Structure 1
Amino acid sequence: MGTLEDRVIVVTGAGRGIGREHALLLASEGAKVVVNDLGGSADGKGSEAGPAVAVVEEIKAAGGDAIVSTDDVASAQGADNLIRSAIAAYGKLDGLVNNASILRDGMVFNVDDEQWESVLHVGLSGTFYPGRAAARYWRELSKAGKPVAGSIVNTTSESGLFGNMGQSNYAAAKAGVAALTEVWARELKRYGVRVNAIAPRAATRLTAQVGAAESTDPNAPMHPGNCSPWVAYLLSDSCAISGEVFVVYGGVVHRVAPWTLDDSWKLRKETRWAPKELADAVFETGIPSKAGRNTGLIR
């Protein structure tokens, strides 16, 4: 038996790349998988059922169980329909992997309104709406006195966690996903639901837009399939982790520490600061750096 035997799991953005690898592995571990993909281009244009259909066919050919969904998860109606479809097909929902995203890079002075809004729409709303729909289902089960062992795995990015030039829209969306992960973990714990996120390092058709060719070698560190075993673990009954974010690549799983107060740099006095006082205090203390060291000022 696999580690996910008979669990029903929805994977968004599962027609290609990382999502496809998740769907294939989860099915091989015994899960019943809802393969969701709108089938658009890497920048979010168009739609086509083919990618999701192909993944479902591959799963079935290997003896697994899966169905196709082409719902638009960046809309409330599409996300609600996706979750209802999973429950209608299999009678329940055990896990949700929010993976759908698009990439439309540009420096802050070049990004137009449509680029900004489309990336936030797919990356952030496309995580929120399926998560909300799944949470409502599990909450109702719990309130009815039925046992719940749900799990959500969101997909953030190091761009959102640490920043990356040329990705104001993508970084904002992915930082929002990391924040949702921590909030949901706190909100849904009482209902028996765990929530975590991964920041995958993988070469996919999205990274190909910025010069990192898609990895097709399963032994390469940047192959998208390297991220899927950790996702399978986070979805399994043997996992008790919740509210965490992990960078995953190759054979590495690295926990990301959340925002914390930095005791290596702090200004303090008993009364309100005056601007001139602050200038002097910063000069004496040094400029805070991301390396955790203070850099002295010259004046």
Structure 2
Amino acid sequence: MTSGQVQLLGATAIRELAERYDVRPTKQWGQNFVVDANTVRRIVRVAGVRPSDVVLEVGPGLGSLTLAILEQAARAVVIEVDPTLAAALPETVATLAPTRAEDLAVVQADALRVSELPGPAPTALVANLPYNVSVPVVLHLLETFPSIERVLVMVQLEVAERLAAAPGSRTYGVPSAKAAWYGEVTLAGTVARSIFWPVPNVDSGLVRIVRRDPPQTSASRTEVFACVDAAFAQRRKTLRAALKGWAGSAAAAEECLRAAGVDPQARGEQISIEGFAAVAAARSRVSA
């Protein structure tokens, strides 16, 4: 697919579409539409979208990124919660990318409730995510669709930094640890607020996730994530104290930590997802 067969949206076209469909961006759904064609092409390029990819997009809005995805991918499957936007998108694609109209599937739903998609399984997730649900959406889709090999999402810069943070950094926390369960997470760039309409009061960041196998552990993902949640519920406390309720007592928490080779006086922000997996597995052995 070459760029000449797909016409991308600019600021004027975005506003014309919004007027045609009587769309007013709402804070409720975190709608900020990308009005810069260079930015959506950059997102698709950084995502490494291939001609064989089935790309899942969440919150396509008026279709800026969708069109850029269809420039490169075999197929785009989009999830849009706004019924007006979901109904308008096929018409926009048919007009601006007529040869690709059949390669678009629109699911009108809340992404956090989606458990199945039409057609072939998605191989990549590429999206401009609403700030208020970005982390839950990424984690839910990675868990629900194991076929997703690569992720490139645009989120609030602060959220991007948290997702990509490494153990020991000030911003490392629950999102960082849980995202690392699924793959290698990196900050892939920043995006100025000026490329959005309406212009948000924050800058954005690009987060890349390349899926890999989760840590080898006898504990389930649910058990490991429960340990992560407990460790960060009281960030300033040592793990011995923070995991007291999770393990049953401070002494039991210390026993689990020592069995996993983790210092009971350490704090959650110092522990990798592999460390949390080891602690969760140790709890099963200690309580057996």
Query: For this structure pair, what is the TM-score category when the shorter chain's length is used for normalisation?
Result: 0.3 to 0.5
Using the size of structure 2 for normalisation, the TM-score is 0.41
